[in-house]
Every structure is written in structure tokens, then in C-alpha cells.
Amino acid sequence: MTQPRSVAVIVGSLRQDSVSRKLAHALEKLTPNLAFSEVEIGGLQLFNQDLEATPTAEWVTFRAKIAAADAVLFVTPEYNRSVPGALKNAIDVGSRPYGASVWNGKPGAVVSVSPGGVGGFGANHHLRQSLVFLNVPVLSSEAYVGNAFSLFNEAGELANEGTAAFLTTYGKAFSAWIETILAGNAAA
């Protein structure tokens, strides 16, 4: 049996009871052919180019985990029509040093989550803008999950059948996307 592709999961919310994290776990359960691993971003020092000469241990560890993954999944809430500051910081930390970005060429997917009906549209598109610049080929299927607080039961498990069906389809599309991009990278 082939080893499942490894997916680094970046959750934009730092909150312990994060609905973004719950959604990431639900997607993981519904996509058993991929090996998901959350990469923590809350402890990363703010990006400061002065630290590049001697990067912090947290930066080194974060970069190594992203570099080791076959793909990356971003699951994020929307803050003020954009991504949370911690997520933007993680993107910046991974993009440096210049010319050695850990994001370069790595297949990705973006899921945005919101308690409102729009599903984090602004965050999803702002994140995609950054990922285009960083040469992260992002799955074109868009995933906006609205009314997110109502989708989970008291145990934190996904309890909405429609969302489960959507995430199952999304997981299959992401799996196929990863294979397509990695095959193209190998041929290049």
C-alpha cells in the first residue's frame, strides 16, 4: 500500500475551541487517504527581517514541518474581511529567507469558516492572493463554510450531513489536486 500524502494543516484561529480547528478535524476524518498534521502557528514570533541572521527555534521548526509536507491546507476564520494576523505572520515566516520559501510549488487548499452566512469570503480571497504570489497552486474549488457554530454538536463533532457531504467531495478534489500538482512538479 502506498503511503498517504502528508498534509500540513494551518488553522488561522488560535482559540482553543476554534470552529476552524473543528472543521479541519472533520475534513481529516472525511478524507482518510491523506495524513493530516496541524502545524501550530500561535508561538511564532512576529516576522522581523532582523531575526533572519539567527532565526528563532520556532521559525526553524515551523519551516521544517511545512517543507516536509506534500501539501498544505489552510482553514481560517475571517477577521475584518481578511485573514487573522497570526496566519499572515505564518505565511511571512514561511516565505523567508528570500528565495527559500517553504511554500514554493506546494499544492494547497483554502477553507474559510464564519458564524455568518457568507462563510469567510473575504479571508478566503485575501489568502488566495498571498498564495498566488508564493507560487502555491491552490485548488480552484472554493470552500466557504457559513453558519459554522451551528454545524457541530456538544462534543465538537460535525453534525450537519450537508456539510459532511460537501467536505467529503472537497477532500476528494483536494486529494486529486495534490496528485496532479506533484506529478507536474516531478516531471518538471
- The predicted pLDDT at position 88 comes to 97
CATH code for the domain of 173: 3.40.50.360
Q: What residues contact residue 61 under an 8 Å CB cut-off, 6+ apart?
A: none
The domain tally of the chain equals 1
Domain of 110, in residue numbers: 5-187
How far from 141 is each of 40, 94, 109, 137, 174, CA to CA, in Å? 25, 24, 8, 12, 9
Answer whether 87's CB lies under 8 Å from 41's CB: yes
DSSP SS3 for 16: coil
- The predicted pLDDT at position 102 comes to 98
pTM of this prediction?
A: 0.96
Q: What is the pLDDT along the chain (188 residues), one digit of tens a residue?
A: 478 999 999 999 999 999 999 999 999 999 999 999 999 999 999 999 999 999 999 999 999 999 999 999 999 999 999 999 999 999 999 999 999 999 999 999 999 999 888 889 999 999 999 999 999 999 999 999 999 999 999 999 999 999 999 999 999 999 999 999 999 888 87
DSSP string, 71-114: EEEEEEE-BTTB--HHHHHHHHHHT-STT--TTTT--EEEEEE-
